[in-house]
Chain A
Amino acid sequence: MELFSQNKVYDFMSKRNLFVSISLILIFLSLFSIFTKGFNWGIDFRGGIEIQVRFDKPVPISEVRKLISKEFKGANITTFGSPNEILIRLNVDQVSGDVQKSLGAEVKKLLSPLGNVDIRRVDIVGAKVGNELKEKGLKALVFAIVGILIYVAVRFEWRFAVASVLALMHDTIISLGAVSFFHIEVNLDVLAAVLTLMGYSLNDTIVVFDRIREQVRESSIRDLATLINDAISKTLSRTVLTSLTTFFVVLTLYLFGGEIIKPFSFTLLVGIIVGTYSSIFIASPLLIWLGFRIDDYRKRLMEIEKRKREKEKMRKMYEGGVV
């Protein structure tokens, strides 16, 4: 079984302006959504109280609202996945310290007229904790980006590093834009998903870049656009295959993993689509715009190769006892 015709070289680079325009529009829309709509910060970041309850049969949500508002004013009440399952959200200051201690029992008592109710989860998170998490999350992101920049710059060349990090930011912004647009709740898991998709998108980009590096070293193509087309076409079946398998794994997670994991899997799903797209259509054109020159890089690679060989020779001589 084979996906693509193997000897065909697809011309991606001639349409690079089109794709970059699409990306710029997407980025603009994402930023627009992020700045106007903002994020639906979850309890991890915002602080607050979240109580998840389950009834043994579906209950009218208006009844739940009526009973809860007897004790807690301004509670936010929604169903969670199924009509049996209800999520109650409160601000920390809506509930006095004494009640906080026995919140689960209190809610259970309030809702008991509606039938058998099971307290599934009680989360009380102070806003202070949330702020610390935001700060830590940001630090993790910066640390990851700097680490990646350094690694890729050392292993390839600075333009590859810049291009891969720009592609990374492209993927991250668009994914976050989708999270904002679809009002997905941002919790710690989503933060983990964002960092994972960064790793994933990078994975994809690096594989293509690795092929470009190899083509620079080994092929006789002198034109950068042609060389990139060649490299992308050669890695195309791998890119699509891996993306498809990962996509299906995450899709099963989204469909069957339960309500709690939905924000996480949604973020990843978007990330995989955008990451795959960017490694094919965005990362490589960036090399062209950054002024990547085949000849210079080839010279550098040759030098590295030469040095490696010399070292090897020296070692062999040394081991053979000649020196």
Chain B
Amino acid sequence: MKKLNYRLVIFLLATLFGIAFTIPSFIGKQPRVNLGLDLQGGMYLVLGVKTDEAIKNQIKTIASTIKYISQKKELFIDNLKIHGDKITFELIDKDDMKKMDEELKNIKGIKVQKQVKNGSVYYTISLTPQEIQRTKENAVKIAVQTIRSRLDAFGLAEPSVTRQGKDKIVVELPGIKTQKEKENVKKLISTAAHLELYLVDEEHRATTPAEAKKYGDILLPDKNNPKRMWLLKTPPVLDGSMITDATVGFTQKTNQPAIFFTLNSQGAQIFGDVTGKNVGKRLAIVVDNKVYSAPTIQERIGGGSGQITVGSPEEAHVLAIALRSGSLPAPVVLLEQRSVGASLGADSIRQSMIALISGFVIVVIFMAWYYGLAGIIADIALVTNLFLIIAIMAIFGATLTLPGMAGIVLTVGMAVDANVIINERIRELIRAGKPIKAAIEGGYKNAMSAILDANITTLIAAIALFAYGTGTIKGFAITMAIGILASMLTAILGTHGIWEYLLASGKKITPKHFGMKA
């Protein structure tokens, strides 16, 4: 047992660890190295979240709430209007001011300004800066979750949805390859699924937005006939944040594809109240600013469920997933799209594998030829190094990209450096007439500071890349950092351990074993 030394033991353990965690990657089991989109084909999207829209939606929701509570508490208000990011309204009886203030206090995140004039109170409501900040932040967070759950519901393998920077979302979809799949996924992601219910204004006529505004209304186009415009009373009576479920089915009478939605208790109450009060009038169902239908209210609808008729079953499917997983609090825009076809992915793998293997073989043969036994020992360390990189990447679930592969090729080249430095030092000491054992010990000792300093500086560069890089660059930086650490373990500890073992087992080592003339 005396022959074993701690360096060799650590190296053997590292080798076992490396091999054990490399195998799953080759037989397709977990944990394994994920291949980047450039290597296997798929789709990469960068989405920008329009956080300003989230603020507008928030304002709209607050306006709806004010309208609802004022009706419920019989506080008479007039001229409830939205101007950009402000809500204004008039409280007709100033004696109700205290009651109104009390109600407004229950709405979080708003700033209330008042002005008393001619017996009525003029209110201006805006969001506090903290609330604006929070709303924007939330919009991105919810968008990430929503897109993730939509993709999950769509049944995609390993989609990755991550936030990037302040208002961007990166979606990676390996395996999405056909044009049709791409279209569906893009629709699924970018559908805001913002459901709103508006009362149709049947008393007025308006053809321009300005005219509509005069009555406190908006004009929205019909889904099936974009030329047809609907005049709708603002604010909406209900918005989609109150939806708890949405399923696809067919309407009883006409057998058209439809989405059946269910509202939460608050939504159900509002829905019941509004439909009860407006029997005989039309209620417009609006999704993403398009009027899907505007049925006449036959009776009070209790129980909090409704339906939206849709053109085709596929459309119903996508919209139902979108509604069920929640609406996007703010619309997203596609900033960047990359899609790699399956054929390019396969080619990249093949070509970089050729490069990786041939580069590796050249180095391995060269080392053995130049340094003899010392070169072969260095080669063993190199192979272990390669296993370790793959194993660690697999465990961290890192993604291997084309530049990442280049990173591996490069670290293999750099790992050779440590071995070269050590072996050159050993040769030097042998030349100086030291006995082999002392030369080996001295060689490692002398080489250490150069190897450490050189590797740490490279590591600093890798960290800089990781900190500021995105996507591919980050992948490259990770591979590089792992490669450097692994090469230090194998090249310094590993090879040293093997020499110690050989020395302890009494094998005669001569300068020839270092590729020198005897």
Contact = CB atoms under 8 A, between A and B. Distances in A.
Given A1-B369, A252-B359, A192 B344 contact: no
A199 B461 contact: yes
A257 B456 contact: no
A134 to B, nearest CB: 11
A137 B472 CA distance: 13
A207 B468 contact: no
A94 B64 CA distance: 42
Interface residues of A, number: 75
Interface in A133-165: 133, 136-137, 139-141, 143-144, 147-148, 151-152, 155
Interface in A57-111: 100-102, 104-105, 108
A211 B515 CA distance: 23
Contacts of B410: 196, 200, 246, 249-250, 268
B186 A101 contact: yes
Contact of B417 (A124, A242, A258, A264): A242
A122 interface: yes
A108 B341 CA distance: 13
B31 to A, nearest CB: 25
Given A102-B183, A144-B461, A188-B473, A129 B336 contact: yes
A206 B336 contact: no
A147 B456 CA distance: 10
A256 B335 contact: no
Nearest to A150: B460
B337 A195 contact: no
A203 B458 contact: yes
A239 B182 CA distance: 50
Contacts of B367: 245
B457 A206 contact: yes
Contacts of A213: 449
A245 B413 contact: yes
A294 B407 CA distance: 38
Q: Which of A133, A151, A261 is packed against the most chain B CB atoms within 10 Å? A: A261
B348 A258 contact: yes
Interface stretch (A30-38, A113-121, A284-292): A113-121
A226 B455 CA distance: 28
A30 to B, nearest CB: 21
A196 B414 CA distance: 11
Interface string B445-462: 010011001111110111
B5 to A, nearest CB: 24
A119 B472 CA distance: 22
A201 B232 CA distance: 68
Given A6-B431, A104-B339, A245-B366, A1 B515 contact: yes
A203 B414 contact: yes
Given A152-B457, A195-B465, A252 B366 contact: no
Contact of B370 (A1, A143, A147): A1
A54 B516 contact: no
A189 interface: yes
Bin chain B's interface residue count.
35 or more
A193 to B, nearest CB: 8
A122 B337 contact: yes
B273 interface: no
B412 interface: yes
Given A192-B476, A202-B458, A121 B338 contact: yes
B231 to A, nearest CB: 28
Q: Which of B179, B461, B472 is packed against the most chain A CB atoms within 10 Å? A: B461
B363 A192 contact: no
A81 B179 CA distance: 25
Interface string A230-255: 00001101100110011011101101
A81 B423 CA distance: 41
B192 interface: no
B229 interface: no
Contacts of B473: 188, 191-192
A257 B404 CA distance: 13
B470 interface: yes
Contact of B46 (A129, A136, A143, A202): A129
B351 A258 contact: yes
A257 B183 contact: no
Contacts of A241: 370, 420, 424
Contacts of A6: 427-428, 431
Contacts of B395: none
A199 B458 CA distance: 5
A152 B460 CA distance: 11
Contact of B461 (A52, A148, A261): A148
Interface in B459-499: 460-465, 467-473, 476-477, 480
A221 interface: no
B406 interface: yes
Interface in A186-224: 188-189, 191-192, 195-196, 198-200, 202-203, 206-207, 210-211, 213-214
B337 A140 contact: no
B421 interface: yes
A196 B480 CA distance: 9
A302 interface: no
Nearest to B366: A245
Given A143-B464, A238-B424, A246-B413, A136 B335 contact: no
10 contacts: A2-B516, A104-B182, A122-B337, A123-B337, A136-B468, A140-B464, A140-B467, A148-B460, A256-B358, A260-B348
Given A189-B406, A191-B473, A245-B362, 6 more contacts: A122-B337, A192-B465, A202-B461, A203-B455, A241-B420, A245-B416
Interface of A: 1-2, 6, 52, 54, 100-102, 104-105, 108, 118-126, 128-129, 132-133, 136-137, 139-141, 143-144, 147-148, 151-152, 155, 188-189, 191-192, 195-196, 198-200, 202-203, 206-207, 210-211, 213-214, 234-235, 237-238, 241-242, 245-246, 248-250, 252-253, 255-258, 260-261, 264-265, 268
Q: What 3 pairs across the A-B complex have the smallest Cβ distances?
A: A246-B413, A144-B464, A249-B359
